[in-house]
Chains A and B, each alone.
Chain A
Amino acid sequence: MKKVEVLGSGCANCVRLAANAKEAAAMAGVDVEIVKVTDYGQIAAYGIMSTPGLVIDGKVVSYGRIPSAGDIALWLSE
């Protein structure tokens, strides 16, 4: 079970990123729990200002862009 956090205020981009992450989990066949982090303090704690950000098991893998489901699947299966 991997923990995937989507960082952002809940704007359209964050929703798209969360959808890509879900698709990626299915692609990679990895069990994930997707959590949306909207609290600005928590987002800042990751050192991120450009949302949406993506965190897998506590590690920031991307920010300020929407990676494709294929890319996220790669990170999930690493």
Chain B
Amino acid sequence: MTALRLSLGRRIQPPLKLTVGVSVAAWLVAWFVEAPLSDWLTFNVFGLERGSHFGEAIAFFLLDVPKVLLLLVGIITVVTLIRGFFPPEKVRAALAGRGLMTGTVAAASFGIVTPFCSCSAVPLFIGFVEAGIPLGVTFAFLISSPMVNEVALVLLWGLFGPAIALVYMAAGLTVAIVGGLVIGKLKMERYVEDYVWALQGKGGAAIEIHLTWEDRIHDAWTYTKDLVRRIAPYLLVGIAIGALIHGYAPTDLVAAIGGRSNPFAVPIVVLIAIPLYSNAAGTIPIVQALLGKGMPLGTTLAFMMAITAISLPEFIILRRVIRWPLIAVFATTVTIGILCIGYLFNSLIV
């Protein structure tokens, strides 16, 4: 077997444990030298003045770029590795036959660990309906899966700290659970395309396929490389804009537009977020700078959630399985949920 593997062109690699060990050590070293190094570069090597607009902007950029890249590479590899153990096929098996409340809460929670992209929304939806999972439970998953995603959580954790990342996660889960329950109550089953119902009970059970740790680590690393390569350009632009805001934008201006005194700030940022879909990577550094300049937390959270959860491409793709009235209800429920979170946090945290 081993001989065949080699003869079939598998590259001969160093032992897995060695590769993993060296990578982890390199990551840790980079993590700890990153901040002092960027500070030293900005103020000693480039000789920029501490407290000057330009100096602060450059320091922000040099500090954030390596920090965010390290976080993305490190945490997404780990998260991908973990969620390899929770494929949607397993989630579906765990959800089938649960009570409405348990099912909805479980579906929203599973949304945190399962991967999601708009291209997988349709097979996922069909798979859930086919297994007899109630519509509301399915939507709880469809709301939570893209909203509580790893890129958003990693960036929030890295740039804002664990408290805000956890608050974001809790808020996302709440919107998903309430949204799922509401959609379930509205009895929208007739807006699901007939061919989807016709498939019910006809699907096979997914076969459990054994993967070795080597397979899993290899998959996680490939996925992370692809993802980081794809979002890196947006991230760089986002951090550059964030750096400009950090260095130059007057605090009064941000407070006037996005601040507590403007009652329309929350709906305005939600509107701005709609076309920014899937650019969480590019927008979070900008949001960080805005928060630093006095944008309130509720407005910030609403903006972040709207970027990840309100996705026009996803709504259009879902039209293949559900009709417009249900898509409209889905979009409206999510939007109202996000607005509530925004206003709630703005009024709670002064």
Q: Which residues of A contact B (CB under 8 A)?
A: 9, 11, 27-28, 40-41, 43-51, 60-71, 73-74, 77
B195–A41 touching, CB < 8 Å: yes
Interface of B (DSSP majority class)? helix
In this complex, what residue of A is CB-closest to B216?
A65
Is B202's CB under 8 angstroms from A44's CB? yes
Closest Cβ–Cβ distance, residue A38 to chain B (whole Å):
11
Q: B124–A70 contact, CB under 8 A?
A: no
Chain A residue numbers with a CB within 8 Å of B207 are 47, 60
Q: Is B4 interfacial (CB 8 A cutoff)? A: yes
CA distance A40 to B207 in the complex (A): 18
Question: A40-B126, A68-B10 known; 11 other A-B pairs, CB under 8 Å?
Answer: A41-B126, A44-B127, A45-B202, A48-B127, A49-B88, A49-B89, A49-B126, A50-B87, A51-B119, A63-B209, A74-B5
Least CB distance, A78 to chain B, in whole angstroms: 10
CB-contact partner of A74 in B8, B127, B203, B206, under 8 A: B8
B320 CB contacts on chain A under 8 angstroms: 40
Asked if residues A45 and B8 are in contact (CB atoms below 8 Å), the reply is no
State in angstroms the CA–CA spacing of A77 and B5 once bound together.
11
* CB-nearest residue of chain A to B129: A44
Cα–Cα distance between A38 and B39 once the two chains are bound (Å): 52
Q: Is B41 an interface residue (CB 8 A)?
A: no
Using a CB–CB distance below 8 Å, which chain B residues touch chain A?
Answer: 4-5, 8-10, 87-89, 92, 115, 119-120, 122-124, 126-128, 130, 195, 199, 202-207, 209, 211, 215, 218-219, 222, 320
B214, chain A: closest CB distance, angstroms: 11
Q: Which of chain A's residues have a CB closer than 8 A to the CB of B211?
A: 65
CA distance A73 to B6 in the complex (A): 11
CB-based contact A51/B123 at 8 Å: yes
Which A residues are in CB contact (< 8 Å) with B122? 9, 40
B222 touches A66 (CB 8 A): yes
24 A-B contacts, Cβ less than 8 Å apart?
A27-B9, A28-B8, A40-B126, A41-B126, A43-B123, A45-B204, A47-B207, A48-B127, A49-B88, A49-B92, A49-B120, A49-B124, A49-B127, A50-B87, A50-B89, A50-B120, A63-B87, A66-B219, A66-B222, A68-B218, A69-B9, A70-B9, A70-B10, A74-B4
Residues of chain B within 8 A of A47, CB atoms compared: 89, 203-207
**Bound complex: CA A13 to CA B119 (Å):** 11
CA distance A28 to B130 in the complex (A): 37
Chain A proximity of B282: nearest CB distance (Å):
21
Contacts of A48 in B (CB 8 A): 89, 123, 127, 206
Residues of B within 8 A of A66 (CB): 219, 222
Q: Return chain B residues, CB-CB under 8 Å to A61.
A: 209
Residues of A within 8 A of B215 (CB): 65, 67, 71
A11 CA / B118 CA spacing, docked (Å): 11
Whether the Cβ atoms of B8 and A70 lie closer than 8 Å is: yes
State the Cβ distance, B321 to closest chain A Cβ, in Å. 8
State the CA gap A43–B218 with chains docked (Å): 26
| A71 partner residues in chain B, CB cutoff 8 A | 215
Closest beta carbon of chain A to B161's beta carbon, Å: 33
Q: Establish whether residues B202 and A65, one from each chain, have CB atoms under 8 Å apart when the complex forms.
A: no
Q: Distance (Å) between the CB of A28 and the closest chain B CB?
A: 7
What residues of chain B lie closer than 8 Å to A60, measured between beta carbons? 206-207, 209
Expressed in whole angstroms, the Cα–Cα distance for A77 and B124 within the complex equals 32
